[in-house]
C-alpha cells in the first residue's frame, strides 16, 4: 500500500537526518538507489565518509584510560573498513542489526 510513496518517505527521512532508520534492520536493498540519488543531487560522495572516519593521524593523548582502549579499537575498525572500501574489495564487516530481520 505504501509502495508508491517509498521514494518520498525515504527522501523525507534522509532530509530529516534519520537515514539510520532505513538501515537498522539491514534489509532494505531496494532503497539504495534512492539514497545514492539523494547524495548525488547534493554533490556528496559517500566514500568521503570512509576517508574521514579513521582520522588523519591525530594520536590519542592518553592511552592509560579504559576509554582509550575503546577508542583505539574503534579507530582500528574504522581504518579496516576504510581500507576494504578503498581497495575495492567491498566492506566485509558483520553488522549487528538493531531490529531482527524478517524472513
Query: HEC states along the chain?
Result: CCHHHHHHHHHHHHHCCCHHHHHCCCCCHHHHHHHHHHHHHCCCCCHHHHHHHCCCCCCCCCCCCHHHHHHHHHHHHHHHHHHHHHHCCCCCCCCCCCCCCCC
Residue 98 falls within a domain, yes or no?
Answer: no
CB 42 within 8 A of CB 14: no
Domain count, the chain: 2
User: Residues 38, 12: one domain?
Assistant: yes
Residue-level pLDDT at 103: 44
Contacting residues for 100 by C-beta, under 8 A, at least 6 apart:
25
Residue 101 falls within a domain, yes or no?
Answer: no
Residue 102 falls within a domain, yes or no?
Answer: no
Question: Average pLDDT of 14-26?
Answer: 83
Contacting residues for 27 by C-beta, under 8 A, at least 6 apart:
101, 102
**What global pTM score does this model have?**
0.63
Tell whether the model's pLDDT for residue 42 goes beyond 80.
yes
Residue 19 falls within a domain, yes or no?
Answer: yes
Q: Which domain holds residue 85?
A: 45-93
Residue 72 falls within a domain, yes or no?
Answer: yes
Question: Average pLDDT of 7-27?
Answer: 85
Using pLDDT thresholds of 50, 70 and 90, give the confidence band for residue 50: low
User: Residues 1, 11: one domain?
Assistant: yes
User: Residues 53, 89: one domain?
Assistant: yes
Tell whether the model's pLDDT for residue 12 goes beyond 90.
yes
User: Residues 58, 89: one domain?
Assistant: yes
Amino acid at each position: 500500500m505504501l509502495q508508491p510513496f517509498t521514494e518520498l518517505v525515504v527522501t523525507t527521512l534522509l532530509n530529516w537526518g534519520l537515514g539510520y532508520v532505513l538501515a537498522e534492520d539491514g534489509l532494505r536493498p531496494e532503497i539504495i538507489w534512492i539514497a545514492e540519488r539523494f547524495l548525488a543531487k547534493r554533490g556528496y560522495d559517500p566514500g568521503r565518509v570512509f576517508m574521514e572516519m579513521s582520522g588523519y593521524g591525530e594520536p590519542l593523548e592518553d592511552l592509560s584510560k579504559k576509554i582509550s582502549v575503546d577508542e583505539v579499537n574503534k579507530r582500528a575498525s574504522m581504518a579496516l573498513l576504510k581500507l576494504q572500501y578503498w581497495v575495492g574489495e567491498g566492506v566485509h564487516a558483520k553488522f549487528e542489526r538493531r531490529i531482527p530481520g524478517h524472513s
